[in-house]
Structure 1
Amino acid sequence: MRETTPAAMPPCFEKWCKRFDPDFKTQAQKKGFRHYLGGLLGESQRKNITQMANDSVGVVYNRLHHFITESPWEEKRINERRLKVVDSCHQTRVGRGFALLLDDTGHRKSGNFTAGVGRQYIGEIGKLDNGIVAVTTHLYDGKKNLPLDVEIYQPASSLPSGKKDPSFKKKPEIALELIDRSLKRGYRPGIVLMDAGYGNNTNFLKGLESRRLKYLGAVAKNRKIWLNQSGENWQKIRLDEYAKSLPEEDFTSV
């Protein structure tokens, strides 16, 4: 049974969609955008094109499919417009001193026709499986959480030339590109927060330091550091071994 019709959407839905009309060239694109967004906001757990078309009155599968896969609109321009709309409103504008949260999220997915699908670590199930992974950035100012960017990670196994493929990028490389997008917008975080997947990557940390960004991240307990306690001789030691050697009062609860 079809659940919704575009005409039944509340007035605020149309008001929101009109803000994005300048980024679409034709009426068909504007209509497709409304149908696609309405489908994403629908109650159905499955968000594929078939389900969206089946759940909505007046939405034709072929037209929605064409809008998503073939129509020449740019998702990055739509995202930039979204951030400008959010920043123009007092209730949604992010305050100063915010943190930038860096992470990746994965979902199981069968088949191999979708870009980025391959056997890799999937966070939602905590193990290797066939699926898709995206690197994401968010802003958090203590009250509001604002999604910034998302970029699909393409594992080497999904590319024609593997790791030698020109389009192959590691997750930390993608993460730095997303951070640069934020800096270009004028979003300069007070601190970057990340898990060990990024905290253990030396080149990524150097990238943050070259951009003069403070960061806090998890690191593996077997990571080795150079320690100079005497002021003369440097000693290489595992992080967990060094932590055990410190007195309890040297630690601050966070």
Structure 2
Amino acid sequence: MMTGVTAEQIAGWDAELSELTGSLGWLFNRPEPRVVFTQYVEGLLAELPKKNGWTLAERAGHVTPDRMQWLLNGSVWDADRLRDGVRSYLVKHLGDPEASLVIDDTQAQKKGTKSVGVAFQHCGLTGDVRNCQTMVMLTYAAPAGHAFIDRRLYLPEDWTTDRERCREAGIPDDVAFATKPELAVAMLKDALAADIPFGWVLADAGYGRDPGLRGFCHRRTLPYVLAVPVDLPLAGPPGKTRQPAVKRAEDLLHYAKVRAQWERRSLGDGAKGERLYDFTAFDVTVKDEAPAEGFAHWLVMRRSLHPNRRGKDGELHRETAYFLIHAPVGTTLTEIITRAGGRWRIEEDNEINKQLVGFAQYQVRKWTPWHRHVTACMLATAFLTVQHAALTAPEPDSDAPATSPAAPGKAQATGESETTD
């Protein structure tokens, strides 16, 4: 929330928004869609109970929603070029080589079978299977702020194998089935081609489990912190060969219990206060996967402070999460933990887009208008992010260690010497 804002600053925002939308006028070959596009973005940023064709048209003084609907459905302009403009705008103001690219997906619940990509599939909003659309998103998370810079609509195989259904929804004939991690790789390729400054790639286990995504990062020498499942294949024990073999990530829990030192660190403030966890790390070999030259793999384990998960034995245990790290040799555990704590930024971007600019309130069904609406929402929140960054001075690095940081595999102790969970 922005507090202590003056009337002059608000007037300045209005002028800057007009300048921003005006600078994108080259997207359109006619003056009317330029005007309606500006009205559309202004409406997304306005305090309206819902952001749909009717409410946006009413705010703009239109008698009917026809002009808003035509902007999305019928006028000639390229949503991918607008996406490029959003990315350039955000990088111009917030670009930083210390930024991270964060991958995640989000859903919009929909009725019926006509909306492009809609299907009964897992819905992260509810944690179960719902009729929804799934969008794979890419956030640019810089020290000064964060916002979406790319998007891909996931099409289940039930869609891509029915080409007539695809044509009815306006899906181009060359759009084939792609997994969510493959869509993520496509966005990373575009970010690299655009030469945007960033240092790390972050994602949850839905993406970290994919060897194709990991392999892409290895080939492109990209550092990453990826949450991974407990069955991530590993090769060999961490140390003496007489110790129990390590074949999966969860096998390291034995070593963590009996001889690992844990370091207590904060991942920043959450909804319920400071997010404190215990961390430890091991250098590992991922089966059939070699890191980039000069890089190494580590498996970081994050453990909750208190028992909060009931195991197969019926007892409460501390919940443990696993993260695979691909980073230059010598990277400190401190930096890795700080990076791992940055994934929440894309969750916040999902929430901001849905609550503030009508990200999931669209009333369009086809491929092209979906991309146009979602990308216009990205522009609106990028504008908010830039204005907020201008008001907010950088805060001191609260994660800076008081002593020399531990290297991965040599975590500093927390003062505890626990051997049981």
Q: Give TM-score scaled by structure 2 length.
A: 0.53
> In the alignment, which residue of structure 2 is the partner of 1:29?
33
> In the alignment, which residue of structure 2 is the partner of 1:161?
162
Q: Distance in 2 between matches of 1:237 and 1:178?
A: 32
- Tell me, yes or no, if the aligned pair for 1:189 and 1:213 is still in contact at 8 Å: no
Aligned to 2:228, what secondary structure does the other structure show?
coil
Q: Distance in 1 between matches of 2:115 and 2:52?
A: 12
Is the aligned partner of 1:190 residue 2:199? yes
The one of 53, 57, 61 equivalent to 2:61 is 57
Cα deviation code 1:29-70 (max 9, x no counterpart):
202211221222222243222332244423631121111012
Is the aligned partner of 1:70 residue 2:80? no
- Tell me, yes or no, if the aligned pair for 1:221 and 1:240 is still in contact at 8 Å: yes
Moved more, 79-88 or 19-28: 79-88
Moved more, 203-212 or 32-41: 32-41
Cα deviation code 1:2-51 (max 9, x no counterpart):
xxxxxxx9433322211111121101220221122122222224322233
Query: Structure 1 residues 158, 44: CA separation in 2 closer, same or farther (over 3 Å shift)?
Result: farther
| Aligned pairs for 1:70-219 within 5 A | 70-88=74-92, 92-161=93-162, 167-219=176-228
Q: Distance in 2 between matches of 1:59 and 1:113?
A: 28
- Tell me, yes or no, if the aligned pair for 1:35 and 1:59 is still in contact at 8 Å: no
The one of 7, 10, 16 equivalent to 1:12 is 16
> In the alignment, which residue of structure 1 is the partner of 2:255?
245
Moved more, 95-104 or 177-186: 95-104
Aligned to 2:247, what secondary structure does the other structure show?
strand
Cα deviation code 1:90-149 (max 9, x no counterpart):
xx2322221111111112111222211111111122221011111111122223113210
Moved more, 106-115 or 175-184: 106-115
Q: Distance in 1 between matches of 2:42 and 2:96?
A: 29
Number of equivalences: 241
Moved more, 135-144 or 234-243: 234-243
- Tell me, yes or no, if the aligned pair for 1:101 and 1:138 is still in contact at 8 Å: yes
Give the aligned residue type for 1:146. A
Give the aligned residue type for 1:132. Q
Aligned to 2:51, what secondary structure does the other structure show?
coil
Shift of 1:184: 0.9
Give the aligned residue type for 1:103. D
Aligned to 2:86, what secondary structure does the other structure show?
helix
Aligned to 1:248, what secondary structure does the other structure show?
coil
- Tell me, yes or no, if the aligned pair for 1:120 and 1:129 is still in contact at 8 Å: yes
Q: Distance in 2 between matches of 1:249 and 1:173?
A: 37
Give the aligned residue type for 2:154. Y
Q: Distance in 2 between matches of 1:179 and 1:64?
A: 32
Work out the percentage of aligned pairs sharing the same amino acid. Answer: 22
Shift of 1:231: 6.9
Cα deviation code 1:176-229 (max 9, x no counterpart):
010011111112531111000011111211111111111111111233322254
- Tell me, yes or no, if the aligned pair for 1:196 and 1:219 is still in contact at 8 Å: yes
Q: Distance in 2 between matches of 1:158 and 1:45?
A: 33
Give the aligned residue type for 1:242. L
User: Which structure would you say has the larger RCO, counting Cα contacts within 8 Å and 6 or more residues apart?
Assistant: 2
- Tell me, yes or no, if the aligned pair for 1:198 and 1:204 is still in contact at 8 Å: yes
Q: Distance in 1 between matches of 2:158 and 2:94?
A: 40
Q: Distance in 1 between matches of 2:100 and 2:17?
A: 30
Give the aligned residue type for 1:77. R
Q: Distance in 2 between matches of 1:84 and 1:97?
A: 17
- Tell me, yes or no, if the aligned pair for 2:95 and 2:197 is still in contact at 8 Å: no
* Structure 2: gaps spanning 5 or more residues: 1-12, 164-173, 263-279, 282-301, 303-336, 338-421
Query: Structure 1 residues 112, 55: CA separation in 2 closer, same or farther (over 3 Å shift)?
Result: farther
- Tell me, yes or no, if the aligned pair for 1:107 and 1:123 is still in contact at 8 Å: no
Query: Structure 1 residues 55, 127: CA separation in 2 closer, same or farther (over 3 Å shift)?
Result: farther
Q: Distance in 2 between matches of 1:31 and 1:166?
A: 31
Query: Structure 1 residues 86, 143: CA separation in 2 closer, same or farther (over 3 Å shift)?
Result: closer
Aligned-residue Cα RMSD (Å) equals: 2.6
> In the alignment, which residue of structure 1 is the partner of 2:232?
223
Shift of 1:249: 1.7
> In the alignment, which residue of structure 1 is the partner of 2:52?
48
Q: Distance in 2 between matches of 1:157 and 1:187?
A: 35
Give the aligned residue type for 1:213. L
Aligned to 2:183, what secondary structure does the other structure show?
helix
